[in-house]
Structure 1
Amino acid sequence: MCYSALVRAEFRKYQREFGAVMDLKSYVQRYWIDRDRDPYRRPRTPRAMDLDLLREGPPELAELVRAWDEADASRLEQELFAQTRRRADAERSLQAKTTKKAQEDLRISGNKIAQIKAQLADLRRSEPLPRDSRIFPGSFVPVMAVEDGRKVVRPMRYQCRMPGWTEATERKYPGTYNARRDKLEKSWGALFGHSHGVVLATAFYEHVQRDGRDVVLEFAPQDHREMVIACLWSRTVERDGSELLSFAAITDEPPPEVAAAGHDRCIIPIRREHVDAWLQPDPLDLASLYAILDDRERPYYEHRLAA
């Protein structure tokens, strides 16, 4: 079901290649909304997106990201101090007498100190790493759509909330990050032919069974091409009146090499010459939309165990 992917999180990429504009209001709203709801729980955005906004984003957005980084760093430094003290207490206790509690405190504090230091290092570095672009259901990702005749890029959540759904309804259907091609008119009819988007991606991930074990494989085009992934998106309203933009990637039966690796779905990378038509669908001409999905790019996907 392609539960995870490596995406291009930089707005400038969409601007350069497609002439898209940033919907600044939706970006600011996303970072402010989550801060108002819980000042200790930042938006679930790929780190590559945050770093891009710090480096090239409008000043008001860069300041919001910087505020989140500072708040997270402060919280982590306090936790680091507490765990360092816990480790020191455990070491003193073990010098006097070996106890199970002191041994556990020493082990747990050591693990947490290493974890916190890694998180702080991630907050302090300015250059993105490949893993910074990986998304999961619940992540907010730059998605390009067309509204009022122009291409716009907005952060949307990777897990679509269908029109009319509540949070409770959504919890009953946790797989709505995947829009199956064979159910576009039935399950996704409110969006297919109406609200189309694309996401730029370089790889996708899935759980497969190998020798009785569940492992995660990374699938990427052998020629390293950047894929334009066909998506459907939705605009709904939260209980507090705020706007939620969310999306799903359209998937289909896998090509032979993906099926042979043990995965039964595959995202659909559409051709760049079809992007304009895909983003401005005619609900009375679904056949042309299916034709775009069928005339897709067909890279050969290599796979490897995910890091």
Structure 2
Amino acid sequence: MCFSVHIDRNIKGLAKEFNAVIDKGRFSELQNLTQKWPKLFKLPDASDRVYPGTYSPIILGAKDELVITPMRYRLTPSFSQDLNYSSINPKTKRKKILPTYNARLDALEKRAAWQKIATTKHAIVPVKSFYEFVERDHKSQQIEFFSKSEHLWACALWDSWYYEKENTTIYSFAIITDEPPKEVLNAGHDRCPIFIEKENIHEWLNWQGQDMAQMREFLLSSKAHELFDFRDVS
């Protein structure tokens, strides 16, 4: 599970690299919403680190062009009854908020949050590194995984949810994760975001197929050949 990522907020640089359009209206709207509801519409911290519930620039495919737009890291499905997607324990009747900031590749067909969007609503998150907690000497240690590449292109799913109470739409995403490469596993973590090669981004963002198995095979065969290192985070 990837609980936090260091993202690239240089949207002008990203737009130049991909010849993409910046959704200025959505970014302007986010600034206004942040001033009005700072706890709900959170921006990355000073280190450009994004946690679940924080907004990040992401890349979408739109017809013949790519678009850079802001979305919240932790997906709220369009059918959710609440802003924070949750389930009710049938025995205790207690509500449990579900961790919809990561979408496991092997659960895309099983979980309701991913089923309708897995082959239709694709995104790319421009990542520089990602953070995990691992067990070390019977204690939980936070570590940062990084590579020599300037960018890591993380595959994601997105959805929109109408927030009736505030009369606004929440756009949000989840990063897709899979089995880790050996160096991540050896460092103590059993999941890793799926990062793909840059030349495969357009096909991912403009995915035309409906077959889940075919899409899964595409992701597995399109993974970037990164070698990760890590460092402890105090």
- Matched with 2:61 is 146
Letter in 2 for 1:179: A
Structure 1 position 173, deviation (Å): 3.4
Letter in 2 for 1:297: A
> Going by fraction, where is strand more abundant, 1 or 2?
2
Contact map agreement 1:145 1:153 (CA 8 A) in 2: yes
- Matched with 1:124 is none
Give aligned-pair identity as a percent: 30
User: Between Structure 1 and Structure 2, whose CA radius of gyration is higher?
Assistant: 1
Q: Please tell me whether residue 136 in structure 1 is matched to residue 75 in structure 2.
A: no
Aligned equivalents of 2:40, 2:116: Cα separation in 1: 31
Contact map agreement 1:143 1:153 (CA 8 A) in 2: yes
Q: Please tell me whether residue 177 in structure 1 is matched to residue 101 in structure 2.
A: yes
- Note the aligned Cα RMSD (angstroms): 1.9
TM-score by length of structure 1 reads: 0.68
Going from structure 1 to structure 2, the CA distance change for 1:274 and 1:165 (only over 3 Å counts) comes to same
Q: Please tell me whether residue 29 in structure 1 is matched to residue 25 in structure 2.
A: no
Structure 1 position 225, deviation (Å): 4.0
Letter in 2 for 1:44: K
- Matched with 2:227 is 300
Aligned equivalents of 2:63, 2:161: Cα separation in 1: 19
- SS class of match (2:115): coil
Contact map agreement 1:46 1:134 (CA 8 A) in 2: yes
TM-score by length of structure 2 reads: 0.87
Match of 1:167 among 54, 58, 82: 82
Q: Which runs of 5+ in 1 are unaligned?
A: 48-130
> Going by fraction, where is helix more abundant, 1 or 2?
1
The alignment of Structure 1 onto Structure 2 pairs a total of residues equal to 221
Aligned equivalents of 2:216, 2:60: Cα separation in 1: 18
- SS class of match (2:47): helix
- Matched with 1:191 is 117
Match of 2:192 among 250, 253, 266: 266
- Matched with 2:70 is 155
Contact map agreement 2:61 2:206 (CA 8 A) in 1: yes
After superposing the two structures, state which structure 1 stretch, 211-220 or 167-176, moved more: 167-176
Aligned equivalents of 1:4, 1:257: Cα separation in 2: 19
